[in-house]
Amino acid sequence: MTSSDATDHAHPTMIDLLLRYLQRERQNLVGALDGLSDYDVRRPMTPSGTSLLGLIKHVATVELGYFGMCVGRPYPEPIAWDNEPAFEAGEDMYALADESREMLLDLYRKSWAFSDHNIRELGLDARADVPWWPEDRTPTTLGYLLVHMLSETAHHAGHADIVRESIDGRGGGDHDDVGDEEHWTAFVAKIQAAADAHRSD
């Protein structure tokens, strides 16, 4: 904390707000892996193959692209799966057997610092080019990419909540604050009873 935090908190700039909420969603996403085995964070949990570590890998790659290459500051370290053949094989969406959980989480955390630094230094109005977007949407601005990335990270953090809940039953961040197991069992029963009135089978 610095002495200016109280003032910043009272009148945060748009860039402060966007970065604060982006950081919250990044933490939500990473938090979904807490306490799970290496197998559980890697295994596909939905028909489309969503895995928790795959979400981390994907979001890290997207973030490094938007706030690196797209704003003229490519990430200096090579990323093995950041190429067309790997994307076509979906390798940015899941952890390969020889890619460690620590390496992928570390890359994601590095992308936070790298992105935040570039965003603060360049500002929301800086020009950004996204080669994989349709021509009528690019060039755009860094501010546009920041809103886009907040939304994308939050969306994937939502996926991660449900995937986590389907692995070990752990609900979202405020699950335990809302009530104990008895509360949740009763709550789910109430929802089921309300839904039963609309069964068509």
Partner 1 sequence: MTPSGTNLLGLVKHVASVELGYLGESREWLLCVYRQSWAHADKSVRSLGLEAPATVSWWSVADRRTTVGHLVVRMVAETAHHAGHAERVREAIVAR
Task: By CB under 8 A, name the binding residues for partner 1.
Answer: 12, 14, 17-18, 21, 24-25, 28, 46-48, 50, 147, 150-163, 165-166, 169, 171-172, 175, 184, 187-188, 191, 195
Q: Is 132 helix (H, G, I), strand (E, B) or coil?
A: coil
Choose between 99 and 165: whose C-beta lies nearer to partner 1: 165
Q: How many CB atoms lie within 10 A of CB 26?
A: 25
Choose between 24 and 73: whose C-beta lies nearer to partner 1: 24
Q: How far is the CB of 150 from partner 1 (least distance, A)?
A: 6
Q: Report the candidate in 45, 3, 25 with the shortest Cα–Cα distance to residue 172.
A: 25
Q: How far is the CB of 111 from partner 1 (least distance, A)?
A: 18
Q: How far is the CB of 199 from partner 1 (least distance, A)?
A: 13
Choose between 100 and 166: whose C-beta lies nearer to partner 1: 166
Strands (E), 94-177: 127-128, 140-141
Q: How far is the CB of 76 from partner 1 (least distance, A)?
A: 29
Residues in contact with 31: Cβ distance below 8 Å, sequence separation at least 6, in sequence order: 173
Choose between 123 and 171: whose C-beta lies nearer to partner 1: 171
Q: Is 10 exposed, middle or buried (0-12, 13-18, 19+ CB in 10 A)?
A: exposed
Spatial contact of 118 and 76, defined as CB atoms under 8 Å apart: no
Residue with tokens 């990335």: 149
Query: Distance between CA atoms of 123 and 101, rounded to whole angstroms?
Result: 32
Choose between 73 and 170: whose C-beta lies nearer to partner 1: 170
Q: How far is the CB of 74 from partner 1 (least distance, A)?
A: 27
